[in-house]
């Protein structure tokens, strides 16, 4: 390689570029007096030393000192080639330089939802919209995620939650891959959180697609709920009341658009943060209430550069606005106008274009208990403050292949919540001073699954893990849960079928009210995949179970729960009444045979597959209807 001396102009340009990109430390103390290192090795060590030194000087002063240092040290024995080789060295140095300058901060006190800019290579809108919602709630809500904010340490500790348990991840904020998220005004909170979630999930490619409710739980560890906006029974009044109560309580909310693109103004399968909600009246008070308009302000994580811009009613240039209403909307939104990144939309349009609403019950000052339950263990809650008449509490279960969660008081179900694809919705309950002990019962039948239970309360509670309930109490609680909210179908006037279908579970309970005849129930589970079955694991495309229910009894015939996000099944039901044997006409004799363990009971009642624990202890054994009258 030929030796050539670089000209001063090129050094000035290189120093200026490095001065912008590098943090301004104290002058480095790296020496190369004997020229034992070549220029490239020396330049790399010099850059590394600069990065680790104290960042206290201005960019301009640092650029001048860097220029002098490189001129005095490197140019003494320059063995580099021509100008192209020098520029190649310069580019290699830039590759090793952190992608943010000294003036960057983790998060500013006046951070805004529209500071976040989604990257071009990753579909992480479900995560970034959640971060936008946290920013709109309060800066403290976002700061709680970071356990240290000192950028000079070179690492940032980020606390996330996985399956209900906290995880601390140490993140290097100096470099980020191309195409990831960024923040305006020299902030780093969005790319740092995105990098932590990518590390937790196993790579940036795992961030391409997700659910807002998942991101809310991951960032806050608080109970979260996902509401389907497409259900017919969810009318506008109920939805608005739900949004208002969540907003007034300081909860975090996001919405996701439908998969099909219904308008060119909104991105399909995209998540938006709810920044604020408000009601406007035309004409506004005090002139009169007039026409009421229910509006939401949403934030698009794509930022102002998004190709999607809401142009419908109540957009920035919509004719729906009057000067008075626009001013009222600005006052409600902190004095900032809407834009491509943030915009107003009516409740009617929200229902038309969006599929799900995710709500996080963010209560940072509540007391928290996190437990791991083994096998069929349950949890107890007790109010130990005799002067506190009622303590508000929530319970949430993170467990695969479970069907939900119940809260029992004196063996009665007082609260319940179904499980989703990965966790239950929060189960709410008030614990009074008279409640000596409440039992939290997971609706579980997969004995090998680990279960993480989170109890959060407004005041301290005594929470402890307990041994499993007796089989009869557990069975009766599940029967009460199914019968309380299910679709009831009469069969031949002497039987009722209660079918409860939750997000990721299905229950079938059958009542036999015939005075004498037994009822044989045959259910075929067709086209089944991604399911766990309480009586056997579903492997094939067709599975048939048979249960015999005595007269005056009820039984849980079927319990299915999803084992993966992709699942499906179809049920085919058959019913047949069987006349009793002449020798069983006596009610006393019938009860004797039913509660015995003799072969007569097996002949009288048929179960396929057989009951594992027998008539007394099995989850699917019949019980008298009189217990539920």
pLDDT per residue as tens digits for the range 559-596: 888 877 778 888 899 999 887 654 444 444 445 545 55
3-state secondary structure 508-537: EEEEECCCCCEEEEEEEEEEEECEEECCCC
Which residues have CB under 8 Å from 327's CB, separation 6+? Answer: none
Q: At what angle do helices 83-96 and 8-21 cross, to 10 degrees?
A: 10
- Does the pLDDT at position 127 exceed 70? yes
Query: What pLDDT does residue 93 have?
Result: 40
Statement: the pTM of the whole predicted model exceeds 0.75: no
Q: Check which CATH number belongs to the domain holding 403 and give it.
A: 2.60.120
Answer yes or no: do 119 and 60 share one domain: no
Give the count of alpha carbons within 13 A of 98, CB side only.
22
Mean pLDDT across 298-307: 78
Mean pLDDT across 480-498: 87
Query: What pLDDT does residue 197 have?
Result: 94
- Would you state the structure tokens that stand for residue 493, as one six-digit string? 């006037």
DSSP-derived secondary structure for 557-580: EEEEEESSSS-EEEEEEEEEEEPP
Nearest in space to 340 (alpha carbons), one of 315, 314, 313: 315
Q: Is residue 108 part of a domain?
A: no
Tell me which of 275 and 287 has the higher pLDDT: 275
* CA pair distance 587, 248, nearest whole angstrom: 59
- Would you state the structure tokens that stand for residue 73, as one six-digit string? 């040290």
Answer yes or no: do 354 and 399 share one domain: no
Give the helix/strand (H/E) hosting 472. Answer: helix 471-484
- Mean residue pLDDT across the chain: 76
Answer yes or no: do 176 and 49 share one domain: no
Number of domains in the chain: 5
Query: What pLDDT does residue 587 have?
Result: 46
* CA pair distance 151, 300, nearest whole angstrom: 28
* CA pair distance 551, 528, nearest whole angstrom: 31
Answer yes or no: do 618 and 490 share one domain: yes
Answer yes or no: do 269 and 290 share one domain: yes
Give the count of alpha carbons within 13 A of 183, CB side only.
25
Active site residue 476: no
Last residue within a domain, chosen from 212, 234, 265: 212
Q: Give the three-state DSSP class for 405.
A: strand
Provide φ and ψ at 487, rounded to 5°: -85, 120
pLDDT band at 347 (very low <50, low <70, confident <90, very high): very high
Provide φ and ψ at 472, rounded to 5°: -70, -40
Which residues have CB under 8 Å from 441's CB, separation 6+? Answer: 378, 405, 406, 407, 408, 469, 474, 477
Answer yes or no: do 385 and 305 share one domain: no
Q: Is residue 399 part of a domain?
A: yes
* Angle at CA of residue 290, ends 285 and 292, nearest 5°: 95
Answer yes or no: do 489 and 571 share one domain: yes
Burial group, residue 613, by CB count within 10 angstroms (0-12, 13-18, 19+):
exposed
Last residue within a domain, chosen from 360, 383, 408: 360
Diameter over CA atoms, the chain: 114
- Give the pairing type, strands 542-549 and 518-529: antiparallel
Q: Is residue 370 part of a domain?
A: no
Of the candidates 183, 222, 224, 300, the residue annotated as catalytic is 300
Report how far Cα 485 is from the mean position of its chain's Cα atoms.
26
Please say whether the beta carbons of 106 and 190 come within 8 A.
no
Answer yes or no: do 502 and 465 share one domain: no
Q: Is residue 342 part of a domain?
A: yes
- The DSSP secondary-structure symbol of 146 reads B
Report how far Cα 476 is from the mean position of its chain's Cα atoms.
32
* CA pair distance 277, 156, nearest whole angstrom: 34
24-28, 223-227, 479-483, 610-614: least confidently modelled range: 24-28
Q: How far is CA 317 from CA 79, 291, 325, 340, in A?
A: 63, 20, 13, 11
Q: Is residue 540 part of a domain?
A: yes
Of the candidates 247, 270, 293, 369, the residue annotated as catalytic is 270
- Does the pLDDT at position 491 exceed 70? yes
- Give the pairing type, strands 165-171 and 156-162: antiparallel
Q: Is residue 219 part of a domain?
A: no
Give the count of alpha carbons within 13 A of 105, CB side only.
8
Answer yes or no: do 496 and 588 share one domain: yes
Q: Give the three-state DSSP class for 507.
A: strand
Provide φ and ψ at 542, rounded to 5°: -135, 125
Domain with 250 in it: 224-360
Active site residue 300: yes
Of the candidates 32, 125, 498, 514, the residue annotated as catalytic is 125
- Does the pLDDT at position 329 exceed 60? yes
- Would you state the structure tokens that stand for residue 94, as one six-digit string? 């830039």
* CA pair distance 347, 354, nearest whole angstrom: 10
Q: Check which CATH number belongs to the domain holding 277 and give it.
A: 3.90.70.10
161-170, 508-517, 542-551: least confidently modelled range: 542-551
Please say whether the beta carbons of 86 and 80 come within 8 A.
yes
Residue that is written with structure tokens 């299915």 in the block: 560
Which residues have CB under 8 Å from 514's CB, separation 6+? Answer: 494, 495, 551, 577
Last residue within a domain, chosen from 435, 469, 503: 469
Answer yes or no: do 238 and 291 share one domain: yes
Q: How many helices (H) and strands (E) does the chain have?
A: 15, 29
Please say whether the beta carbons of 275 and 132 come within 8 A.
yes
Answer yes or no: do 490 and 622 share one domain: yes
Question: In the chain, what are the helix, strand and coil shares in percent, each to the nearest 5?
Answer: 30, 30, 40
- Does the pLDDT at position 605 exceed 90? no
pLDDT band at 24 (very low <50, low <70, confident <90, very high): very low
Answer yes or no: do 153 and 245 share one domain: no
Active site residue 68: no
Q: How far is CA 230 from CA 251, 285, 352, 416, in A?
A: 22, 33, 8, 23
* CA pair distance 227, 494, nearest whole angstrom: 37
Q: Is residue 173 part of a domain?
A: yes
* CA pair distance 333, 136, nearest whole angstrom: 10
Query: What pLDDT does residue 177 have?
Result: 85
């Amino acid at each position: 390689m030929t030796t050539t001396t670089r000209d001063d102009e090129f050094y000035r340009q290189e120093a200026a570029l490095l001065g912008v990109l590098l943090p301004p430390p104290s002058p480095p103390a790296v020496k190369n007096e004997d020229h034992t290192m070549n220029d490239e090795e020396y330049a790399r060590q010099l850059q590394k030393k600069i990065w680790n030194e104290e960042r206290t000087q201005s960019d301009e002063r640092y650029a001048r000192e860097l220029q002098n240092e490189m001129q005095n040290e490197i140019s003494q024995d320059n063995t580099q080639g021509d100008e192209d080789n020098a520029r190649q060295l310069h580019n290699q140095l830039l590759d090793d330089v952190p992608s943010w300058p000294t003036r960057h901060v983790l998060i500013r006190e006046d951070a805004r939802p529209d500071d976040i800019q989604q990257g071009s290579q990753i579909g992480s809108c479900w995560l970034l919209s959640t971060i936008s919602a946290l920013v709109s709630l309060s800066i403290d809500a976002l700061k709680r995620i970071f356990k240290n904010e000192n950028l000079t340490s070179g690492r940032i500790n980020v606390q996330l939650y996985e399956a209900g348990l906290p995880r601390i991840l140490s993140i290097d904020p100096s470099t980020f891959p191309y195409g990831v998220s960024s923040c305006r005004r020299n902030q780093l909170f969005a790319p740092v959180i995105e990098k932590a979630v990518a590390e937790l999930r196993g790579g940036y490619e795992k961030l391409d697609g997700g659910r807002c409710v998942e991101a809310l739980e991951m960032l806050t560890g608080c109970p979260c709920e996902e509401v389907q906006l497409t259900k017919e029974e969810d009318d506008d009044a109920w939805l608005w009341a739900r949004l208002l109560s969540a907003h007034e309580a300081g909860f975090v909310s996001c919405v996701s658009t439908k998969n099909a693109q219904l308008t060119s103004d909104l991105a399909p399968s995209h998540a938006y943060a709810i920044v604020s909600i408000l009601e406007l009246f035309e004409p506004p008070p005090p002139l009169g209430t007039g026409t009421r308009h229910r509006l939401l302000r949403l934030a698009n994580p794509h930022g102002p550069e998004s190709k999607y811009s809401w142009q419908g009613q109540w957009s920035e240039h919509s004719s729906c606005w009057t000067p008075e209403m626009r001013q009222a909307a600005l006052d409600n939104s902190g004095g900032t106008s809407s834009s491509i990144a943030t915009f107003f939309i009516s409740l009617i349009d929200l229902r038309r274009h969006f599929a799900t609403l995710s709500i996080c019950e963010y209560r940072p000052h509540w007391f928290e208990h996190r437990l791991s339950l083994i096998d069929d263990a349950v949890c107890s809650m007790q109010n130990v403050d005799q002067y506190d008449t009622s303590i508000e509490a929530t319970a949430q279960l993170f467990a695969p292949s479970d069907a939900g969660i119940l809260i029992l008081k004196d063996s009665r179900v007082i609260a319940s919540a179904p499980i989703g694809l990965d966790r239950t919705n929060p189960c709410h309950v008030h614990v009074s001073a008279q409640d000596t002990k409440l039992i939290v019962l997971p609706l579980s039948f997969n004995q090998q699954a680990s279960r993480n239970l989170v109890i959060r309360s407004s005041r301290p509670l005594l929470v402890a893990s307990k041994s499993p309930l007796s089989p009869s109490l557990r069975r009766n609680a599940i029967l009460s849960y199914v019968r309380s909210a299910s679709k009831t179908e009469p069969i031949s006037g002497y039987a009722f079928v209660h079918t409860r279908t939750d997000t990721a579970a299905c229950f079938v309970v059958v009542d036999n009210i015939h005075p004498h005849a037994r009822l044989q129930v045959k259910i075929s589970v067709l086209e089944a995949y991604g399911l766990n079955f309480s009586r056997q694991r579903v492997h094939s495309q067709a599975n048939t179970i048979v249960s015999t229910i005595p007269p005056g009894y009820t039984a849980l015939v079927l319990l299915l729960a999803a084992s993966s996000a992709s699942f499906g099944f179809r049920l085919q039901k058959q019913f047949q009444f069987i006349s009793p044997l002449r020798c069983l006409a006596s009610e006393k004799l019938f009860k004797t045979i039913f509660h015995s363990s003799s072969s007569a009971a097996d002949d009288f009642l048929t179960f396929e597959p057989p009951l594992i624990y027998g008539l007394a202890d099995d989850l699917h054994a019949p019980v008298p209807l009189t217990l539920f009258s």
